[in-house]
């Protein structure tokens, strides 16, 4: 029995080695076969064809750390559930499972966890909108920007209207009418 179990892991280890060998070999072969003409433009990070600005490794939203921490908590909980689920039932007459005792015990454990879950829900850990600036619609994107003067008369709406009303040279247009996003003005 024990031998068979160990043989399983030998087999899986061999599969892992084979997969690794395949990955390394194909990468090395491909690098040898392909052409090599490095240029400075080619080696720059791709930013939609513009010159790259600054370094990518800046700060990023702390929200992701919250998700990672929550994952740790719940993954730990799941880790407790797996062995529990495996021994819950009576497998054989001489090998009884946890039965009702196990069910009640896990029920208490999960109840405590659910209290914590509800608590972080109420505290807004799952609210992604909070940390973000208001959605474009709130600031008024170019299509919705129709300011009303105190007298009630409408100003010229800053919408990309028919071409005849707009200056023909695109560089003469107001900057946000052709950039097409309200957020670009706030930068």
Q: Are 143 and 159 in contact (CB under 8 A)?
A: yes
Least distance (Å) between residue 174 CB and other proteins: 25
Return all residues near 63 (Cβ < 8 A) that are at least 6 apart: 128, 131
74 versus 174: smaller Cβ distance to other proteins: 74
Judged by DSSP in three states, 174 sits in coil
Rounded distance between C-alpha atoms, residue 43 and residue 15, angstroms: 35
113/171 Cα distance (integer angstroms): 59
17 vs 155, which CB is nearer to other proteins? 17
Pick 13 or 167: Cβ nearer other proteins: 13
With respect to other proteins, which residue has the nearer C-beta, 1 or 148? 1
CB of 178 to other proteins, least distance (A): 18
Question: Least CB distance from residue 93 to other proteins, whole Å?
Answer: 14
* Alpha carbons 149 and 146: distance in angstroms, whole number: 10
CB of 157 to other proteins, least distance (A): 26
């Amino acid at each position: 029995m024990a031998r068979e179990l160990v043989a399983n892991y030998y087999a899986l280890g061999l599969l892992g080695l084979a997969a690794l060998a395949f990955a390394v070999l194909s990468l090395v072969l491909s690098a040898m076969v392909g052409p090599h003409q490095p240029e400075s433009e080619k080696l720059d990070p791709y930013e939609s064809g513009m010159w790259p600005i600054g370094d990518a490794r800046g700060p990023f939203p702390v929200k992701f750390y919250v998700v990672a921490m929550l994952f740790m908590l719940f993954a730990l909980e799941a880790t407790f559930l797996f062995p529990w689920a495996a021994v819950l039932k009576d497998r054989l007459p001489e090998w009884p499972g946890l039965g009702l005792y196990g069910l009640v015990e896990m029920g208490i454990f999960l109840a405590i966890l659910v209290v914590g879950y509800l608590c972080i829900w109420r505290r807004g850990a799952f609210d992604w909108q909070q940390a973000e600036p208001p959605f474009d619609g709130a600031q008024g994107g170019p299509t919705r920007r129709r300011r009303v003067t105190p007298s009630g008369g409408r100003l010229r709406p800053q919408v990309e209207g028919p071409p005849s009303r707009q200056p023909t040279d695109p560089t003469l247009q107001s900057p946000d009418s052709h950039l097409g996003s309200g957020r670009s003005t706030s930068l």
